[in-house]
Amino acid sequence: MKTIDDLGDLRGRRVLVRSDLNVPMEGAPEAPRITDDGRIRASVPTIRELASRGARVVVVAHFGRPKGAPEAKYSLAPVAARLAEVLGAPVVFAGDTVGPEAQAAVTGLGDGDVALLENLRFNPGETSKDDAERGAFADALVALLGEDGAYVGDGFGAVHRKHASVFDVPQRVPAAVGGLVLAEVEVLRRLTVDPARPYAVVLGGSKVSDKLGVIDNLLRLMVRGDRLLIGGGMLFTFLKAQGHEVGKSLLEEDQLETARGYLARAEEAGIEILLPTDVVAATAFAADADPQVVAADAIPADRLGLDIGPASGAAFAAALADARTVFWNGPMGVFEMEPYAGGTRAVAQALADATAAGALTVVGGGDSAAAVRTLGFDEASFGHISTGGGASLEYLEGKTLPGLSALGA
């Protein structure tokens, strides 16, 4: 992959930077509040480097899932304000993607200036499955750059999407990978090419079906003595596959045979799969619904599991203590509610301890990354916190990611 150094002298040139600024936000459209600015902060180093080289930086990104037309609740305006604060420099915000406001904003940039265009997904061409429609939008983005424009792909959270700004634009102008994406790829390669062992993977989240590909590929990558720890809502499908009742817990009946197959494959290969021995179960999906710690193989019929229990948290921590490589994707429970945050907190602390002991620890983006920040952990306590949960998982599945292939990876 070409890096920013390969783009040559950037002074006076317009550089389109595809960043990932899809941050969680709450509140009404007229008074939104960013609840986790991790992706904004992770995007700033590349933007700052380009500006320091005299580039006229045009940042593009998406937010949420609008239907190809402007929606106030999905505007990037609040992100532009926060980006300027973190960057420590003004950020011109354009209220459209390739229209008059974008053209005026880009034309008005001086060397080292930064602009952010409105949500890419307000234009249907960004996500279109029609190559011509997507290509037309890519052409419009490229036209903003002038004759000597360039592109930097730095939105790792979007590289698994075949979108105009991710896949088509870098094939039309000189393109390079940004520092954030480069760091993500280097870490993921360490997870998939001769990882230091013992190798431990912690998977959580709600559904087994969301993790089928990554579990399948990890079982091929892992060797005897490696460990796969399973928590979150997906654990109940595995418990049911072992013949245990799970009460009202989340369950994917159509994945029971798949779960049994994974358990059998792991046992045959000498890979240890750790399932919780206790869970925190409640009568309803609510913080005050009488949460109780119960045995994982004896969940009452009127309760649903919402976190792994304290004994399981301790067992998971012990299983990670001597690991040399740890990858974690997916919380152990509904960490947003304090009664169900203990399992996720225990795993996060175990990763922090493993980092201190010299292991490579990777928090695989998405809810896991949000969890460590919400629970008050110092980001420096982990080897790497990914900005792209879905992209990380697809990489670990062994899939070709369109955004990386367009950049020569």
Q: Give, in order, the Cα–Cα distances in Å from 249 to each of 143, 156, 205, 300, 303.
A: 52, 33, 13, 10, 7
Whether the Cβ atoms of residue 402 and residue 161 lie closer than 8 Å to each other:
yes
pLDDT for residue 208? 85
- Residues facing 155 on adjacent strands: none
CATH number of 187-396: 3.40.50.1260
Annotated binding site for (2R)-3-phosphoglycerate: 39, 121, 161
d(C-alpha 110, C-alpha 33), whole Å: 30
pLDDT for residue 359? 97
In the residue annotation, 53 being an active-site residue is answered as: no
**Of 326 and 387, more confident:** 326
Helix count and strand count (H, E) for the chain: 13, 17
Specify the range with the lowest mean pLDDT, choosing from 1-15, 202-216, 346-360.
202-216
DSSP for 204-222 reads -SS-SGGGHHHHHHHHHH-
| Mean pLDDT taken over the chain | 95
Q: Where in the chain is the domain with CATH 3.40.50.1260?
A: 4-179, 187-396
d(C-alpha 38, C-alpha 387), whole Å: 8
Annotated binding site for substrate: 20-22, 39, 62-65, 121, 161
pLDDT digits (tens, 9 = 90+) for 140-165: 999 999 999 999 999 999 999 999 99
Neighbouring residues of 184: CB distance < 8 A, sequence distance ≥ 6:
156, 384, 386, 387, 388, 391, 392
Q: Span 319-332, mean pLDDT? A: 96
First to last CA, the chain: 6
CATH number of 4-179: 3.40.50.1260
Q: Which residue among the candidates 41, 207, 265, 399 is catalytic per the annotation? A: 207
In the residue annotation, 2 being an active-site residue is answered as: no
What is the band of 207 on the pLDDT scale with cuts at 50, 70, 90?
Answer: confident
Specify the range with the lowest mean pLDDT, choosing from 74-88, 210-224, 329-343.
210-224
Whether the Cβ atoms of residue 61 and residue 20 lie closer than 8 Å to each other:
yes
What is the band of 212 on the pLDDT scale with cuts at 50, 70, 90?
Answer: confident
**At how many degrees (to 10) do helices 389-396 and 366-374 cross?**
130
Whether the Cβ atoms of residue 151 and residue 178 lie closer than 8 Å to each other:
no
Task: Give the number of other CB atoms < 10 A from CB of residue 88.
Answer: 8
Q: Which residue among the candidates 95, 213, 390, 398 is catalytic per the annotation? A: 390
pTM: 0.89
Q: Which residue among the candidates 39, 240, 248, 303 is catalytic per the annotation? A: 39
pLDDT for residue 256? 96
What is the band of 30 on the pLDDT scale with cuts at 50, 70, 90?
Answer: confident
pLDDT digits (tens, 9 = 90+) for 349-368: 999 999 999 999 999 877 89
Question: 323-350 burial by CB neighbour count: b if 16+ within 10 A, else e?
Answer: bbbbbbbbbbbbbebebbbbbbbbbbbb
Q: Span 312-326, mean pLDDT? A: 97
In the residue annotation, 207 being an active-site residue is answered as: yes
Q: Which residue among the candidates 153, 205, 343, 366 is catalytic per the annotation? A: 366
Annotated binding site for ATP: 211, 305, 336, 365-368
**Of 38 and 44, more confident:** 44
Q: Span 259-278, mean pLDDT? A: 96
Residue 171 has pLDDT above 90, yes or no: yes
Q: Span 340-354, mean pLDDT? A: 98
What is the band of 243 on the pLDDT scale with cuts at 50, 70, 90?
Answer: very high
- Residues facing 3 on adjacent strands: 177
Whether the Cβ atoms of residue 378 and residue 33 lie closer than 8 Å to each other:
no
Q: Span 316-340, mean pLDDT? A: 96
Residue 409 has pLDDT above 80, yes or no: no
pLDDT digits (tens, 9 = 90+) for 51-106: 999 999 999 999 999 999 999 999 999 999 999 999 999 999 999 999 999 999 99
Neighbouring residues of 97: CB distance < 8 A, sequence distance ≥ 6:
60, 117, 118, 119, 120, 122, 123, 126, 140, 141
d(C-alpha 163, C-alpha 127), whole Å: 5
